[in-house]
Structure 1
């Protein structure tokens, strides 16, 4: 399970074949079963093969992390508000203004049950298993972002693909710097919750 051939095959199946298959029409329960089996496999590899321990990374520079997140969030906020104003004004802050309790409930469920598993697979697992296969850090980060975007192919929306590619770059850079699943999950949750808040949730399959 530690050979380059095995890892490349594993990468191809988990991060290319399965995400592309989810864009094809077949029963949802089969897709859910494949996703669950895949996640169990990832956790097994992390714990039994890679000997990973789920613990908070030491010596985290939280001050620098949150300063960077605030700046990036401000930029994202400006661009997304302008986009919604000109492209989809009726949905601008629609959930906050009309269904605030549902909005808060979604933020909680999304952050806890969606974001962390994604980061466990696409950052913790991906970096630990495949970083050694790439000679270039830049190529590795771009590959990670492309595959993260590919995971959202089933939305069949070019804007979603672009947003998740940009997000994938930011998350990969954060994980590269911090080696912390917790911090990259916090960053992911902040941006994802903001997109839902500003009114772009519908294109990402969020309730509206």
Structure 2
């Protein structure tokens, strides 16, 4: 399971074949089954093959992490607020103001059951398994952003692909700096929750 040939095939199936297939029209239950089996496989490989030890990055400068996350989040907030205001004023903070209970519920479910699994697969598993397949580490980062965007292909929305590509770059930089699934998940959750809050949740599959 550690040979170059095996990892190459594994990469193709998990990060290209499956995401592209999810953009096709076939049984939702079959897609859920494939997704669950794939996630179980990722967990198995991380624990049994790669002997991954999940750490919170004890040597991290928490103050610096929150400062950088706040700065990036502030910039994202300004850009997205202006975008929603210009394209769909009625959606601006609509769920937060009119459906606060739904807002709290969705943010909780999203943060725990969507964000963390995504980061486990697309950052922890990806870099643990494929860091030695490419000599060019910048290409490895760029490829990570590409496959992360590809994972959202089923939304069939160009803006979503662009946003997830940029998000992939941000999350990859954070993960490579901290080596922490938890911290990159916190950052991912903050930005994702903001997009839902500001009024861009509809295109990302959030119920409104």
Deviations 1:146-197 (A, max 9, x none): 0000000000000000000000000000001000000000000000000000
Asked if residue 121 in structure 1 is aligned to residue 140 in structure 2, the reply is no
Deviates more, 1:58-67 or 1:29-38: 58-67
Number of corresponding residues: 208
Q: Which runs of 5+ in 1 are unaligned?
A: none
Deviates more, 1:50-59 or 1:67-76: 50-59
C-alpha distance in 1 between matches for 2:55 and 2:179: 11
Structure 1 residue aligned with 2:145: 145
C-alpha distance in 2 between matches for 1:130 and 1:58: 24
Give me the CA root mean square deviation. Answer: 0.7
Structure 1 residue aligned with 2:136: 136
Structure 2 residue aligned with 1:203: 203
Deviates more, 1:58-67 or 1:179-188: 58-67
Asked if residue 165 in structure 1 is aligned to residue 165 in structure 2, the reply is yes
8 Å Cα contact 2:20/2:153 also seen in 1: yes
C-alpha distance in 2 between matches for 1:136 and 1:109: 37
Structure 1 residue aligned with 2:18: 18
C-alpha distance in 1 between matches for 2:14 and 2:22: 12
C-alpha distance in 2 between matches for 1:123 and 1:30: 25
Structure 1 residue aligned with 2:3: 3
Deviations 1:79-110 (A, max 9, x none): 10110011111100000110011101111111
Asked if residue 79 in structure 1 is aligned to residue 79 in structure 2, the reply is yes
Equivalent runs, 1:32-181 vs 2, <5 Å: 32-181=32-181
TM-score by length of 2: 0.99
TM-score by length of 1: 0.99
Q: Secondary structure at the match of 1:117?
A: helix
Deviates more, 1:55-64 or 1:157-166: 55-64
C-alpha distance in 1 between matches for 2:39 and 2:7: 16
Structure 2 residue aligned with 1:30: 30
Structure 2 residue aligned with 1:186: 186
C-alpha distance in 2 between matches for 1:39 and 1:99: 32
